[in-house]
A and B are shown apart, each in its own frame.
Chain A
Amino acid sequence: MRSAREIAQSVRGGASAREAVEAAVAAVAARNEELNVFLHVDAATALAEADAIDARVAAGEDPGILAGVPVAIKDNICQTGVPTTCSSKILEGWRPPYNATVIERLRAAGAIPFGKTNLDEFAMGSSTENSAYGPTRNPLDPSRVPGGSSGGSAAAVAANMTPLSLGSDTGGSIRQPAALCGLVGVKPTYGLVSRYGLIAFASSLDQIGPFAHSVTDAALLLEAISGHDPLDSTSLPEPAPSLVAHLNDGVAGKRVAWVRELVDGADESVVASVEKARNVLRDAGATIVELSIPELRLGLSAYYLIAPAEASSNLARYDGVRFGQRVDGEDVTAMMEATRTAGFGAEVKRRIMLGTYALSAGYFDAYYGQALKVRTLMIEAFSRAYGEADMLLGATTPSVAFEFGSKTKDPMSMYLSDVFTIPTNLAGDAAISVPVGTGEAGLPIGVQLLGPGRSEASLFAAARVLEKAEGRS
């Protein structure tokens, strides 16, 4: 499959956008049944959008940096008139009457939103096994999970159905599946990409970001969707950093920190990949420093109080009154209870209960309040680390893609899949996962680069150095 950059370049030069969309339609037809990547594809509409792009080019217009590129959309992002389920029964049949800002931005860049991808219900999970519509399979080994929660968006790109996709990352939900599917995945700085139209899991942590085969394609997509949005109060006011222009800046003179807590507990093959990345960056002119940031070990605990607390409030609105599923009851309270009992899956219920408990009178200080303090400690610890290094290096996940069912019985083991990715979300910083080396069964391994807020340009440039050393693009 051609890269997004190639497609956009050729379409802007007069080649057919319809052809790019037809290729995506054919790839979905070939493998979606097996992999369960897309929950919804409207090929006719996508083709019509492609024709419109072609017509604009023919009329002498430039549709933008992603002209004619089909982009898969995680099904927790609203698109006017298109079923949006969050992979939950409770939203079955709901069609948003409005577009998320990222959908508007994609269109403004000439891209074509191409179908809605599977996820763990309400983005709660690390394997896409928590979808009410069945798990997504890893295209590289269908006996294994693609990671999650953005497993469908990762699989769409990994299976060459679309060259790009959008996911959302609350605790690693882009980077972890990117690592498990051999892709580049980015958690942008909090506020860089508008959350307007992203169905909230944990509002203070959620951020939309790209999946791509290459750092360049990821940069194109992130540039297209980032920037201030007056509809999102938490959107950063500054103009988005330019990424594509700095892709080949390299890492000469950059200080890269090897962070013990970002590799401890990872499989040997994963540690070996991080070491390999360290060596590549050193050879490219970076200075390697070693750091220990003990606070990072507290991330998982703090996250599993803050995220469920926000989720318990964010998911209150699924009460059967205004949209989605309704199960009738004796009175309005019974109706709400019945609707939520039938509509939510086990993991969602677990987190709602956990979060409700953490916010309750008498427990707030010990749980949610304490977690906020830990979050502050973590922000300060990161800030100190970024005084000593320009970016941090570590693993994205402790292991390669795991087999179905291997972690579903023990939520804690599943939660540990995100131990290296969660701290970035708590800090509101940026991180990128890029494939380096392989592990068990030849499966890909992701290496993570972490930077302070708005450091995307340096992170992309460093990731590009690693990508080139791997002989990719």
Chain B
Amino acid sequence: MSLPRGWEMVIGLEVHTELLTKTKLFCGCANDFGAEPNTNVCPICLGLPGSLPVINREAVELAMRIGLALNCRIQDSTFHRKNYFYPDMPKDYQISQYDVPINAEGYLDLPDGYRVRIERAHMEEDTGKTTHLGTSGRIHGAERSLVDYNRSGVPLVEIVSGPDMRTSAQARAYVAELRAILVAVGASDGRMEEGSMRVDANVSVRQSGEPFGTRCEIKNVNSLRSLVRAIEYEALRQIEVLEEGGSIRQETRHWDEDRGETSTLRSKEQAEDYRYFLEPDLVPLAPSAQWREHVAAHLPALPAALRRQLSELVGEVTDAQADTIATVVDLSLHDYVLAAVAAGVPVTLALSRAANEVASQIDQRSQLSTEAFIDTIRRENEGEISATQSKDVLLTVLVTGATPAQIIADKGYVQMASDDLAGIIDGIIAANPDDWSRFVEGDPKVVQFFIGQVMKATKGQANGKTVTEILNAKRG
């Protein structure tokens, strides 16, 4: 969307991601807050008197991976206390990095090459989760509130971009690319809808070339789609205020997905004084040079590099293939594709099956081993099963976890013999004389029509390649 009358958006994003550690940031409790409420808790993450935090090594390692992937300077860092009272924060302060974060001053290149600066990517602990019962679901007017502390102390990394994005599309591309990076380095599952990745958007508008305007921070953005909607709504709102001669108040605004609007949550004047001070229960975090080097040396391939690698395998990449590659990389399905290519399967076939069938059951991916993926599409490629059967086998593996061989046997998936096919094709030619004439005259598009008819007649048991061969033979 382009803005009217010479206005330009200025967007900076703060992205919180939960880290995929086995345990919490400062205690040994399982990092699994989907469990029964208040079962993954201990004196430390409940903030019981006398308990003390001890930093989780795995969380530091994942934070360093994020910093490396975002081209940040990894540095010795400290933790502060951010003080405010809230029932789901057991100590009534949050341990967070403040003036000296572990990762500073990096950048992220969007797929189109546009560079967004990363100011910092710092570590902090998550809070518990409050459920307000009765009335509105918000704290005011609730009859009672229940707090689940399973999430309390879960490690977070907050990634703060520079105010570098100028369109909602760039903001969307930034979050998509960042999510792909976080997933690729194993730091996050990248699920926005479930809240394991949360985005706050700082939005202001200005006339192109003018200094930055006053910004508003938008919270409660739970998907890429709402991010775009919220930013565009907010920019237009600010333009309207400014064009009517008003001024923008610096404030935090809440995005209402159903109404498609932002509204004031709190103004700058109402902002809390967090009384930050150095956390005396922790010592400075100073990863050894050896550890930093180890993490750098073992950093998994990043999305940009993977897209490049897959593109090179394809050769001439169409727009549709570029999208397929992007999907495969975003969902971290490249391992399937690369393994299949290594086993001799054509890259386009592997990409297509990964970006469609596997992507459609992404939550079930642990059911599908690389071997099963290769086994299925190799059978398809060698004509042992049809494309339709191959897709069904993949989906069945994803749902049930059975082996392709078992599924093929159970469903009786075999390619129809050429002789049987020839009879069926004769019938279809007889029923569609006009199309046959066009085919004989050399219209290449009609071949798809005949393949479709054959598939319908054989319930997908025909091999498309064989059908084409038979048709060509009959044309003479």
- Chain B, Cβ-Cβ closest to A310: B280
**Chain A interface: which of B51-59, B262-270, B413-421, B450-458?**
B51-59
**Smallest beta-carbon distance A229→chain B, Å:** 9
User: Is A332 within 8 A of B145, CB to CB?
Assistant: yes
Q: Is the CB of A233 within 8 A of B283?
A: yes
- A332-B139, A361-B273 are known contacts. Are A97 and B43 too (CB-CB below 8 A)? yes
Stretch at the interface among B82-90, B165-173, B348-356, B368-376: B82-90
Query: What residues of chain A lie closer than 8 Å to B92, measured between beta carbons?
Result: 316-317, 319
User: Could you show 8 A-B contacts with beta carbons less than 8 Å apart?
Assistant: A76-B50, A98-B48, A198-B50, A232-B54, A313-B81, A313-B277, A316-B83, A317-B91
CB of A230 closer than 8 Å to a CB of B: yes
Q: How far is the CA of A331 from the CA of B50 in the complex (A)?
A: 28
Selected interface stretch from A22-30, A181-189, A199-207:
A199-207
Does B346 lie at the interface of the complex (its beta carbon under 8 Å from any beta carbon of A)?
A: no
Judging by beta carbons under 8 Å apart, are A199 and B50 in contact? yes
CA A412 to CA B277, docked complex, whole Å: 26
In the complex with contacts A203-B280, A233-B283, A359-B275, A196-B50 CB distance below 8 A: yes
Contact check, B48 vs A96: say whether CB atoms are below 8 A apart. Answer: yes
How far apart sit A310 and B43, CA to CA, in the bound complex (Å)? 20
Q: How far is the CA of A94 from the CA of B85 in the complex (A)?
A: 21
Q: 9 more A-B contacts (CB under 8 A) besides A94-B49, A361-B273? A: A97-B48, A98-B48, A233-B53, A309-B277, A312-B275, A316-B91, A316-B92, A323-B48, A331-B139
Establish whether residues B52 and A231, one from each chain, have CB atoms under 8 Å apart when the complex forms.
yes
Given A316-B92, A356-B275, A321 and B87 contact (CB-CB distance below 8 Å): yes
User: Is A313's CB under 8 angstroms from B87's CB?
Assistant: no
Contact B87 A332 (CB under 8 A): yes
Task: Please state if A203 and B43 are interface contacts (CB–CB under 8 Å).
Answer: no
**Which chain B residue shows the least CB distance to A194?**
B52
Which residues, 91 to 109 on A, are CB-close (under 8 Å) to B? 91, 94, 96-98, 100
**A86 beta carbon closer than 8 Å to chain B:** yes
Q: Using an 8 Å CB-CB cutoff, how does the interface string of A321-352 with B read, 1 for contact, 0 for none? A: 11100000001110010000000000000000
Task: Give the shortest distance, in Å, between B64 (CB) and chain A (any CB).
Answer: 19
**Contact at B281–A316, with CB atoms within 8 Å?**
no
Q: How far is the CB of B281 from chain A (nearest CB, A)?
A: 5
How far apart are A259's CB and chain B's nearest CB, in angstroms? 27
Q: Is the CB–CB distance between A319 and B52 below 8 Å?
A: no
Q: B195 an interface residue at 8 Å Cβ cutoff?
A: no
Q: Give the complex CA separation of A360 and B83 in angstroms.
A: 10
Q: Which residue of chain A has the shortest Cβ distance to B281 in the bound complex?
A: A203
B287 at interface, CB cutoff 8 A: no
A232 to B52, CA, bound (A): 6
**Interface: A439 (CB within 8 A):** no
State whether the Cβ of B93 lies closer than 8 Å to any Cβ in chain A: yes
Interface residues of B in 20-73 (CB under 8 A from A): 43, 46-55
Q: Is there a chain B Cβ closer than 8 Å to A64's Cβ?
A: no
- Assess whether B399 is interfacial by the CB under 8 Å rule: no
| Candidate in B53, B55, B277 with the most chain A CB atoms within 10 angstroms | B277
Q: Which of B83-132 contact A (CB under 8 A)?
A: 83, 85, 87, 90-93
A231 CA / B60 CA spacing, docked (Å): 17
CB A323 to nearest CB in B, in angstroms, measures 7
B147 at the A/B interface (Cβ < 8 Å)?
Answer: yes
Answer yes or no: B342 CB below 8 A from chain A CBs: no
A197 touches which of B50, B147, B273 (Cβ 8 Å): B50
Give Cα A356 to B90, complex, Å: 19
B residues lining the A interface (CB < 8 Å):
43, 46-55, 81, 83, 85, 87, 90-93, 139-140, 145, 147, 273, 275-277, 280-283
Q: Which residues of A contact B139 (CB under 8 A)?
A: 331-332
- Please give, as numbers and ranges, the residues of chain B lying within 8 Å of A199 by CB-CB distance: 49-50
- Nearest 4 A-B pairs (CB), nearest first? A316-B92, A359-B275, A203-B280, A204-B280
Q: In the assembled complex, which residues on chain B have CB atoms less than 8 Å from the CB atom of A331?
A: 139-140
Q: Closest B residue to A91 by CB, please name it.
A: B49
Contacts of B276 in A (CB 8 A): 359
Contact present for B275 and A233 (CB under 8 Å): no
- Within 8 Å CB of A197, what residues of B? 50-51
Pair A313/B281 contact, Cβ less than 8 Å: no
Chain B hits for A204, CB < 8 A: 280
Shortest distance from the beta carbon of A332 to any chain B beta carbon, whole Å: 6
- Contact between chains at A316 and B85 (CB < 8 Å): yes
B98 to chain A, nearest CB (A): 12
Determine whether the beta carbon of B275 is less than 8 Å from that of A360: yes
- A230–B43 alpha-carbon span in the complex (Å): 15
Decide if A233 touches B55 in the complex (CB within 8 Å): yes
* A224 CB to nearest chain B CB (Å): 19
Q: Considering only CB atoms, which chain B residue lies closest to A323 in the complex?
A: B48
The verdict on A144 contacting chain B, using a C-beta distance below 8 Å, is: no
Q: Tell me the A60-101 residues at the B interface (CB within 8 Å).
A: 76-78, 84, 86, 91, 94, 96-98, 100
Interchain CA distance A312-B50 in the complex, whole Å: 15
Chain A residues whose C-beta falls within 8 Å of the C-beta of B43 in the assembled complex: 96-98
Which residues of A have CB within 8 Å of B275? 312-313, 356, 359-361, 364
Evaluate contact between B83 and A319: CB separation under 8 angstroms. no
State whether the Cβ of A304 lies closer than 8 Å to any Cβ in chain B.
Answer: no
Interfacial chain B residues near A310, Cβ < 8 Å: 277, 280
A258 within 8 A of B: no
**Distance, CA A402 to CA B90, complexed state (A):** 40
Q: How far is the CA of A228 from the CA of B428 in the complex (A)?
A: 84
A322-B46 in contact given A204-B280, A313-B93, A317-B92 (Cβ < 8 Å)? yes
Does A368 count as interface, using CB distance less than 8 angstroms?
yes
* Residue of B whose beta carbon sits closest to that of A357: B275
CA distance A202 to B277 in the complex (A): 13
Other-chain contact of B49, A232, A234, A317, A356 (Cβ < 8 Å) = A317
CA distance A204 to B282 in the complex (A): 10
Q: Kindly list chain B residues whose C-beta atoms are within 8 Å of the C-beta of A309.
A: 277
CB–CB A196/B273 < 8 A: no
Closest chain-B Cβ to A122's Cβ sits at a distance in Å of 10
Residue A12 CB within 8 A of the other chain: no
Contacts of A317 in B (CB 8 A): 47, 49, 90-92
